[in-house]
Amino acid sequence: MSQLTLTLLGGFAARHEGRPITGFRSQKARALLAYLVMEADRPRERATLAALFWPEMPDAPALRNLSQTLIWLRRAIGEGDPPFLLLTRRQAQWNVAAAAEVDAPRFLALLERRTTPGAADLAALRDAAALYAGEFMAGFSLSGCPAFDEWLLLQREHCRRLALDALFRLTDEALAAGDYPTAATLARRQLALDHWREETIRQLLHALAAAGNQAAALAEYDHARRLLAEELGVAPQPETVQLVEAIREGSRVQGSRGAGGQGRFSNAPLATLHNLPVRLTSLLGREGELAELSGWLAEPGARLVTISGIGGVGKTRLALAVASSFVAQPTIVQPSSFSPQPSAFPDGVWFVPLAGLPGDNATAGTNLDVGDNFVSTVATTLGLNLAGPESPDRQLARSLGDRRLLLVLDNYERLLSTWPILLRLLQNAPGVRALVTSREPLGVGGERLLMLEGLPTPPEEAAASRESLLAYSSARLFFDRARERGARPALDEAERRGLIRICRLAEGLPLVIELAAAWAGHFTCAEIAAEMAANLDFLSAESAARVDLPARQRSPRAAFDYAWGLLSADEQCVLAQLAVLRGAFSREAALTVAEARMVDLVSLVNKSLLRQTSPGWYTLHSLVCQFARERLQQMPAAEDAASERQAVYYLRFVAGRERAWHSATPQQARADIRPVLENVRVAWQWATQNQVWPLLDDALISMMGYYISEGLLNGAIELLGQLAAHLHPSATGSIEARLLGRALAFQAALVGQRDMKTDTALELARVAVDWAQLAADPLTQSLGAFAFGFGLALAASLALLPAEEYDRISESLEQAIAFGRRVPATDSLDQHRARTVEHMCLNTLGNYLLLRGQRAEARQRYEAALALCRAMGSSLAEAQTSNSIAELLETEGSLEQALHYREKALWLHQLLAEPDSMSRTLSALCGVLTYLGDYENALQHGRAALELRQRHGLVNHFLYYRLARAAFHLGDDGQARQLVTAALAEAPLSPYTFHFRLLTGECATRSARWAEAAEALQAALALALKGTNPLAAATARRALADLALAQGDTAAALAQAEGFLPLLGGAPLPSSAEPLRLFWTAYRALRADNDPRAPGILAAGVALLQAQAALIEDAALRQTFLQQVAANREIAAEWKREQG
């Protein structure tokens, strides 16, 4: 038994190892599971899912709700092995390889991928009918989610329609086999799904009458007639009335059991021999032609009838409808007769497809005989064995001499040379008639010719109303086919005008209209019309999902093979080599990689194998690309050469944009690379696997510049890991050693920045330093030393670095600067790179010195970094340093100035459109605005930062803390706790766990949950004491003192205050430590114990408050700082009381 069984047909039910699953927290969890299961063909973006299930909420909380629901869902159904759910930061997908049995996808697979009719096909139909236990998720609803409701409705209708089609076919087979009880049961199942469907009503009447139960058949008819009149206001169709009259005139029905009686309804004509393929869609707009053709074939003198017209006009579909009209007509048997009246074609109606035969052109110059092939195909279709000395065509004519049958010869235009054989057959077999479809008339005597044109197209004035438009069969065809595909065309005025244009562009050709309708769920009618006008062949992609089209139209591979055969050898080679490209590619790339000429590209575009998406830009359809790649694999030398040219072109393309990253316009380089990133990745992988080190060495730094600027840290680390795994340098000064040293240096810095895992980052950096030494290259040594110094500085900022290691930070960073200054002046590119590294070193040195409280020294480094980045003209570097200077100003209490620097950094990052840097700056603004007391604005900036990080899959757990802190100060403990929970769920071992425990404890204190508060705050203090940051321990002790004061435990409060009182008399504290809260809590603890130090602490707190307020020039902002921050307000009020 599979681990998980999920039932969606007939209702929602889930079982795990046979036991019902009851752990779903909400209807949305069930809905989300069903949606992922049914849409498992590709990963679904979390943002899309959040909008689907929480449309009324802003993006950030909707994404949080989605994450929580996914957690609940995974707990309810279990993990699975392999896992049921494939989850990343940005996407979610149901794992089709998991050990789970789900009825609905199995049902769809059985019916949507059926092959030609046969025993296997019938078995699939039976299995599908058994699976369909009822409506998809019957009885399920989800309020407030209109998009999901629409999806659910479409799923229900799609499954219902497929079930109806399957049951109809099975009923038909049961009738043909004489199994009338089964046929009646299946017909009733259909009517339970659609009780107005007259084709099914006729099946039920036939089954009942053939089984000898005419009374029941007539009773069913009366019920159906009343239902149609009352609910639809229509009368039964003529076919139904005709069938009922036949039943009424016969006292019994002749069936397989041979029951006697006076009058009978003959079942034989309904079972006329035929091999017509089942058509599951209706014929629209051909009523006149259908009547005319059927009339011709009923006339004694009409022996050869030809339907002619261009491809896609519907010749085959019309011919099959005409042929079907001769196998579904019941006839009345006179009471005195014991045998049925013969039908027009008692020996059958036979469909003979000729498209697969070698045609006249294909057999020219060969020993193949087109006539013999034609005769053999007809004979095989009829089950005739032609043998002996007599010619095959004479044997066929003799065999059919006394037969009365209809031959439907499809796609005859390929075999026009065989017309003499067809004429002899018709002359020697007077009971045989031929219905021919051909793009060209046969042009022989006695031929009845119908030139088939496109369906009538609506004029512009038909846009006046829905009814006026749908009165035209071309528009009605689009509308019906779109609905069958699950789309719901709105048909407002704009859509009506778009549909009119579609019909006109298609010139009424049914095939083109049906293919256009397949896109209705993806585009508006106006958009479809625009695409058709630009490139009609964009429609062909959806035809792969059609099973009722001729083979060469419904199979993408057959269509491609046909098109491939029409290409010249040069065009075939170009198309095959273009298949190494991915996504969009430029004209220059196509000409270079495929060694093409412009005339080749134009020809491939004209033949719809290459699409021009915009001037100078191209793309291959994914299926064309796949098939062309298969052809390329048959040309190993060409494949290798094209792959190499692709790698050279795209890696040089990236390398050529390196200087832009540290210029005033790095966004241009990003805009250049973004549309071809998939090709760049393929090029990187090829060069790595084939060890083309010079290419990778040239592109490495620019490649990292792109990934870092887009915030794609995971992708960058993955590429670097691939590269490092293939590098095994052994010689000093080798390019391999240089490349490995640089790759590891970048990897170390990025791992530290992404994961805050300093141990891993430092280990990578140490290895980078070793390889840099072997490389004996100044720039590589500079990068390695920087990576190591950056890792140490990061560990220090997280209070994870022992105090004795601090000096190594400045040593490593100063060493990196010194290495960079050794780069030869003749190497301008490495000189530019070295200045960039020097800027990063100066900035990091300033951050480290600021952490140590050495503000003056930090300012010097920042000013040097700012001068360097301005000399380089690097907007990105200036934004980074502006943020660092803002941090310095915040520690000095110059909050308004800090705010200005943050806003300048944000402006620069927004100008550069870098999501990672924008999010970090917004996060920092959230922090400084919280300290200033502007909590609403702080939350707004924090949420914007969070939205950016979630949209781009970035990591910043400290942002959760800043947001939660702002919510806490605003009095929203619920939101604060929710943010903390989300952060810990995302990263239980986050280096910011101290902050999350601290805030959890403060929320619990305010809610008087004493035990919870004590546990969380003690855990925070323990974490702080493990590190080397005294401010963290002081903050935890301040929160514990607040808890003790809230409980009235003065002694405990004073004990905690004693732990941080020494800090209040030392160097100024940074705003991140909330120093005024420290002063206020210390004062309260001392005053409660009547400690004489209390007035002095209050005075010092007032002095700090006044000093910081004096630095805020904006009066409104200063008032916010004084009044909105609780500690500031209380200090000022207490001072006023003491002085008053």
Higher pLDDT among residues 274 and 328, named by residue: 274
Q: pLDDT digit string (tens) for 147-157?
A: 888 888 888 88
CA-nearest of 437, 425, 431, 415 to 379 is 425
Q: Which residues of 935-956 are buried (b: 16+ CB within 10 A; e: fewer)?
A: bebbbbbbbbbbbbbbbbbbbb
Q: For position 515, what pLDDT does the model report? A: 77
Segment 716-740 mean pLDDT: 88
| Mean pLDDT along residues 755-783 | 89
Tell me how far apart the alpha carbons of residues 1025 and 395 are, in angstroms, rounded to a whole number. Answer: 103
Under the banding of pLDDT at 50, 70 and 90, the label for residue 1054 is very high
DSSP one-letter string for 37-55:
HHTTTS-EEHHHHHHHH-T
| Residue 209, pLDDT score | 86
Residue-wise pLDDT for 858-896, tens only, equals 999 999 999 998 888 888 888 889 999 998 888 887 888
Q: Out of 471-475, 499-503, 694-698, 947-951, which region has the weakest mean confidence (pLDDT)? A: 947-951
Average pLDDT for residues 252-257, to the nearest whole number? Answer: 37
Which of 194, 1132, 472, 734 lies closest to 203, judged by CA? 194
**Bridge-partner residues for 611, per DSSP?**
619
Residue pLDDT, tens place only, 831-854: 989 999 999 999 999 999 988 888
Task: Measure CA 655 to chain center.
Answer: 31
The pLDDT tens digits of the residues spanning 301-357 come to 889 999 987 667 788 889 998 998 887 543 333 322 323 334 678 888 899 988 777
- Over residues 1-36, the pLDDT tens digits come to 357 899 999 889 998 887 888 778 788 889 999 999
Q: Given this model, what pLDDT does residue 845 score?
A: 94
pLDDT exceeds cutoff 60 at 255: no
DSSP 340: P
- Sign of the torsion angle spanned by Cα atoms 350, 354, 360, 363: negative
Instruction: Report the pLDDT averaged over residues 212-229.
Output: 83
pLDDT of residue 314: 84
C-beta separation of 909 from 941 below 8 A = no
Strand partners, 101: 5
The pLDDT assigned to 529 comes to 86
The pair phi, psi for residue 408, each rounded to 5°, is -105, 105
Structure confidence at residue 810 as a pLDDT band (50, 70, 90): very high
842/36 Cα distance (integer angstroms): 49
In angstroms, the CA 573 to CA 696 distance is: 28
Q: What is the largest CA-CA distance in the chain?
A: 132
pLDDT at 112: 64
Average pLDDT for 1013-1042: 88
Can you tell me the distance from the alpha carbon of 129 to that of 583, in angstroms, rounded to the nearest whole number? 41
Between residues 451 and 1, the one the model is more confident about: 451
Q: Is the pLDDT of residue 770 over 50?
A: yes
Per-residue pLDDT at 697: 93
Q: In the prediction, which pLDDT does 865 show?
A: 93
Residue 262 — pLDDT band, cuts 50, 70, 90? very low
**Per-residue confidence (pLDDT) for residue 251, from 0 to 100:** 38
For residue 113, name the pLDDT band (cuts at 50, 70, 90). Answer: low
pLDDT bin (cut points 50, 70, 90) of residue 1043 is: very high
When pLDDT is averaged across residues 376-402 and rounded to a whole number, the result is: 84
Q: Which two tokens stand for residue 274?
A: 């035929």
Average pLDDT over residues 47-71: 85
CA distance 392 to 53: 67
Average pLDDT over residues 1101-1106: 92
Q: What is the mean pLDDT of residues 697-706?
A: 92
| Distance, CA of 741 to CA of 771 (rounded, Å) | 5
Backbone phi, psi, residue 135, to 5°: -55, 145
Lowest mean pLDDT: which of 332-346, 563-577, 911-925?
A: 332-346
Q: What is the CA radius of gyration of the chain?
A: 40
Cα separation, 114 vs 100, whole angstroms: 23
Query: How much is the pLDDT for 544?
Result: 34
Q: Report whether pLDDT(985) > 80.
A: no
Q: What is the pLDDT of residue 264?
A: 32
Is the bond into 82 cis (omega within 30 degrees of 0)?
yes
What is the average pLDDT value for the chain, to the nearest integer? 83
What is the reported pLDDT for 741?
A: 93
At residue 955, the pLDDT reads 59
Burial class for 877, CB neighbours closer than 10 Å (0-12, 13-18, 19+): buried
The pLDDT score that the predictor gives to residue 1012 is 93
Q: Exposed/middle/buried for 647, CB within 10 Å: 0-12, 13-18, 19+?
A: buried
Q: Residue 520 is which amino acid?
A: A
**1012-1020: Cβ within 8 A, 24+ apart:** 1013/1043, 1014/1040, 1014/1043, 1017/1043, 1020/994
Contacts 24+ apart (CB under 8 A), 270-274: 270/175, 270/206, 270/327, 270/328, 270/330, 271/175, 271/176, 272/326, 272/327, 272/343, 272/345, 272/346, 272/348, 272/349, 273/347, 273/348, 273/349, 274/323, 274/327, 274/348, 274/349, 274/350, 274/351
793 vs 515 pLDDT, higher one = 793
Q: Which residues contact 420 (CB under 8 A, 6 or more apart)?
A: none
Q: What confidence score (pLDDT) does residue 483 get?
A: 82
Give the confidence band of 560 by pLDDT, cuts at 50, 70, 90.
low
For residue 784, the tally of other CB atoms under 10 A from its CB is: 30
- What mean pLDDT do residues 393-410 have? 88
Query: How is residue 237 written in tokens?
Result: 């169709």
- Tell me, what's the pLDDT at 359? 61
For residue 275, CA distances in Å to 272, 343, 819, 937, 1130 come to 10, 16, 83, 74, 93
Who contacts 1093 (Cβ-Cβ below 8 Å, separation ≥6)? 1061, 1086
Share of the chain above pLDDT 90, in %: 31
Q: Which one has a higher pLDDT value, 328 or 1095?
A: 1095
Amino acid at 529: A
1073: confidence class by pLDDT, cuts 50, 70, 90: low
- Indicate if the pLDDT at residue 162 is higher than 70: yes
| Geometric angle at alpha carbon 38, from 32 and 39, rounded to 5° | 85
